[in-house]
Amino acid sequence: QVQLVESGGGSVQVGDSLRLSCTAAGGSLSDYVMAWFRQASGKEREFVASASWASTGTYYANRSVKGRFTISRDNAKNTVYLQMNNLKPEDTAVYYCAADYRGSYTLTQSYEYQYWGQGTQVTVSS
């Protein structure tokens, strides 16, 4: 069973950057679609970005992050990243890493992912 651990969250100012990391234990991430979701206080969890298990593509479903956020993966390090630039207050949320075994990288619903990390808080202040 894959265990995911996120890191890299924190409190930043508007316009700053952060890079989140998600490292897996107990299995290789190379066979998993990896995704980032986020959940703001009082709101539903929403899809942010995903990367295919075969490293053939990435997908960004949220217009508000496209062009500012970049998902990448390093299968040799069993790690997936979310580079977040030009952060805005509306990016404030708990960010979760998720994995799905050899699924489609266009999956955007949380129930479609089998494994989850514990989340890391990102707070953006103006």
In this structure, the number of other CB atoms found within 10 A of the CB of residue 89 comes to 11
Determine the Cα–Cα distance for residues 52 and 68; give it in Å rounded to an integer: 19
* SS3 call for 116: strand
28: left (phi over 0), alpha (psi -120 to 50) or beta: beta
Q: What does each of the 126 residues of the chain score in pLDDT, given as a tens digit?
A: 889 999 999 999 999 999 999 999 888 888 899 999 999 999 999 999 999 987 679 999 768 898 999 999 998 899 999 999 999 999 999 999 999 998 888 899 999 999 999 999 999 999
